[in-house]
C-alpha cells in the first residue's frame, strides 16, 4: 500500500497541467514583437481604477521593467487606499494631479499598453494625449464590444475572469511567466481576486485556478493578499456599511431585488474615501433568493450618480445597466452613470425592476 501511494504521487508530480490556449500563435508573436522592440512604455487603465485595473497595470509593469524597459503607469485619477500596498503603487502617476508630467511621459513613449477598458471614453481626459500620441497602442481587455479603431493591436476576451487573467495568459503565450516577479504575481492575483468578488462570480473556469496555482508557485501568500484587500478599512467605513444596510437598503422581496442610495452629504458624514463603497453592493445578495442588487451613489467630484449592479446566475445585470443606466459590463457585475437627481435615479431603478419583473420572480 505504501509503495502504491508513492507511485501515485510520482505520477501526479510528472503530470503538467496546461492552460487552454486563448492567445493564438499570431497574437503571441505580434505582442512579443511589441514588447521586445519598445523602450519607453506607458501602461494605463480606466478612470476610478479598481483592483483589476491597478493589478494588471502593475503586473505588466513588473514584467516589462524586468526586461529592461522604461515603464510608467499613468491612470486617470485616484485609486482606493486598499490597493496601495502593492509594490510601486506609489510610483503610479495620477493624470488629474500631474497633467504636465503625464503629457511629457506619453509624448516620449513608443508603446502604450491600455488595460481593462474597451474604449477611450473610459479614461476621460486622459484619452486626448493617449489618442494623439505617436506611440503604438495595444489593448488588453475583457469587457464587451471593444472599440478597436484607436488601437494598433487588440486582445479582447470578454469570457475572461479579469484583465489580470489575460495579462497572465499573454505572458504565458510569449514564454514570459518565468520573468514575472513575485510582486507582479501578487498584483495579478489581487486583480483576479477583486474582479471576481473573491472568486464568487465569473470564476468557474478551471483555468482560473490553474493560474492561481502558478502565481502561488511564485511564492505569493494569497491569504495575506486577501486580508490586505478586505481588512484594510477605517472604522468610519464599517459604520458606513452599517448605515447603508440599516438605514438605506430598500428590499423588494417579491422581486428578489434591492437598491440603496448614498448622497454626497451622507458620504461626508463617514469621512468617505474613494473605495469605501467597494463591495457593499454585493452584500444584499446574501439575502436568501436575492437576484439583483443596485447601488446609487452621488459622485463626490462630478454632478452624476454612479450606478453599480450585481446579479446572480442567468440574470444579466449588464443588460439592465445598458437599458436603464447608460452603462454595461459583465453579466453579473456591471455599472453605469446617470445625469439626474437622486429622486429621478430612484424612479429609473424602480422602472428597471418592473421591466425585468418576469426574470426576477422566476
Which of 208, 229, 250 is the C-terminal boundary of a domain?
A: 229
| Same structural domain, 58 and 201 | yes
Question: Which pLDDT value is given to residue 10?
Answer: 39
Residue 5 lies in a domain: no
Instruction: Name residues whose C-beta falls within 8 Å of residue 350's C-beta, 6 or more positions apart in sequence.
Output: none
Residue 11 lies in a domain: no
| Same structural domain, 215 and 266 | no
| Same structural domain, 207 and 251 | no
| Same structural domain, 351 and 313 | yes
Instruction: Name residues whose C-beta falls within 8 Å of residue 292's C-beta, 6 or more positions apart in sequence.
Output: 255, 256, 257, 258, 309, 310, 311, 315, 317, 320, 353, 356, 360
Instruction: Count how many domains the chain has.
Output: 2
CATH number at residue 252: 3.10.310.30
Of the candidates 98, 128, 105, which has an alpha carbon nearest to the alpha carbon of residue 43? 105
| Same structural domain, 189 and 332 | no
Which of 193, 210, 229 is the C-terminal boundary of a domain?
A: 229
| Same structural domain, 126 and 216 | yes
| Same structural domain, 275 and 130 | no
pLDDT tens, residue order, the chain (362 aa)? 444 444 344 343 433 457 888 999 999 999 999 999 999 999 999 999 999 999 999 999 999 999 999 999 999 999 999 999 999 999 999 999 999 999 999 999 999 999 999 999 999 999 999 999 999 999 999 998 899 999 999 999 999 999 999 999 999 999 999 999 999 999 999 999 999 989 988 899 999 999 999 999 999 999 999 999 999 899 999 999 999 999 999 999 999 999 999 999 999 999 998 889 999 999 999 999 999 999 999 998 889 999 999 999 999 999 999 999 999 888 999 999 999 999 999 999 999 999 999 999 98
Handedness of CA 50, 56, 57, 58 (dihedral sign): positive
Residue 36 lies in a domain: yes
| Same structural domain, 36 and 142 | yes
Which of 229, 262, 291 is the C-terminal boundary of a domain?
A: 229
Instruction: Name residues whose C-beta falls within 8 Å of residue 133's C-beta, 6 or more positions apart in sequence.
Output: 42, 106, 107, 109, 112
In this structure, the strands spanning 257-262 and 70-75 are unpaired
Q: Find the domain containing 180 and state its range.
A: 24-229
Residue 12 lies in a domain: no
Question: Which pLDDT value is given to residue 17?
Answer: 56
The rounded distance, in Å, linking the Cα atoms of 206 and 218 is 19
Residue 351 lies in a domain: yes
Cβ–Cβ under 8 Å, residues 271 and 238: no
| Same structural domain, 304 and 330 | yes
Residue 131 lies in a domain: yes
Concatenating the DSSP letter of every residue in 70-105 gives EEEEEESS---GGGTTSTTGGG-EETTT-HHHHHHH
| Same structural domain, 166 and 223 | yes
Residue 145 lies in a domain: yes
Q: In degrees rounded to 5, what are phi and psi of residue 78?
A: -65, 150
CATH number at residue 225: 3.90.1640.10
Residue 279 lies in a domain: yes
| Same structural domain, 190 and 143 | yes
Question: Which pLDDT value is given to residue 3?
Answer: 47
Number of H helices, E strands in the chain: 14, 12
The rounded distance, in Å, linking the Cα atoms of 344 and 261 is 12
Question: Which pLDDT value is given to residue 349?
Answer: 98
| Same structural domain, 271 and 134 | no
Amino acid at each position: 500500500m505504501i509503495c502504491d501511494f508513492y507511485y501515485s504521487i510520482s505520477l501526479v508530480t510528472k503530470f503538467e497541467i496546461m492552460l487552454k490556449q486563448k492567445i493564438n500563435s499570431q497574437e503571441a508573436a505580434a505582442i512579443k514583437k511589441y514588447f521586445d522592440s519598445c523602450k519607453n512604455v506607458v501602461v494605463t487603465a480606466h478612470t476610478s481604477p479598481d483592483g483589476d485595473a491597478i493589478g494588471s497595470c502593475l503586473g505588466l509593469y513588473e514584467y516589462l521593467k524586468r526586461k529592461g524597459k522604461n515603464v510608467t503607469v499613468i491612470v486617470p485619477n485616484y485609486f482606493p487606499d486598499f490597493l496601495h500596498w502593492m509594490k510601486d503603487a506609489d510610483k503610479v502617476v495620477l493624470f488629474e494631479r500631474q497633467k504636465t508630467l503625464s503629457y511629457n511621459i506619453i509624448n516620449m513613449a513608443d508603446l502604450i499598453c491600455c488595460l481593462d477598458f474597451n474604449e477611450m471614453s473610459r479614461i476621460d481626459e486622459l484619452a486626448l494625449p493617449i489618442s494623439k500620441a505617436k506611440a503604438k497602442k495595444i489593448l488588453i481587455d475583457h469587457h464587451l464590444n471593444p472599440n478597436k479603431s484607436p488601437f494598433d493591436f487588440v486582445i479582447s476576451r470578454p469570457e475572461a475572469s479579469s484583465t489580470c487573467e489575460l495579462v497572465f495568459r499573454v505572458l504565458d503565450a510569449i514564454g514570459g511567466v518565468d520573468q514575472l516577479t513575485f510582486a507582479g504575481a501578487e498584483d495579478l492575483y489581487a486583480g483576479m481576486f477583486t474582479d471576481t468578488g473573491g472568486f464568487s462570480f465569473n470564476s468557474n473556469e478551471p483555468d482560473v485556478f490553474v493560474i492561481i496555482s502558478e502565481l502561488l508557485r511564485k511564492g505569493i501568500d494569497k491569504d495575506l493578499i486577501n486580508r490586505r484587500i478586505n481588512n484594510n478599512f477605517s472604522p468610519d467605513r464599517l459604520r458606513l456599511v452599517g448605515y447603508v444596510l440599516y438605514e438605506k437598503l430598500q428590499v423588494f422581496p417579491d422581486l428578489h431585488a434591492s437598491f440603496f442610495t448614498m448622497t454626497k452629504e451622507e458620504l461626508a458624514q463617514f469621512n468617505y474615501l474613494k473605495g469605501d463603497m467597494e463591495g457593499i453592493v454585493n452584500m444584499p445578495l446574501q439575502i436568501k433568493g436575492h437576484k439583483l442588487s443596485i447601488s446609487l451613489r452621488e459622485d463626490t467630484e462630478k454632478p452624476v450618480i454612479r450606478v453599480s449592479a450585481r446579479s446572480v446566475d442567468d440574470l444579466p445585470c449588464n443588460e439592465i445597466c445598458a437599458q436603464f443606466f447608460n452603462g454595461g459590463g459583465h453579466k453579473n457585475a456591471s455599472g453605469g452613470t446617470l445625469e439626474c437627481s437622486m429622486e429621478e435615479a430612484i424612479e429609473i431603478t424602480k422602472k428597471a425592476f418592473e421591466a425585468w419583473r418576469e426574470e426576477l420572480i422566476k
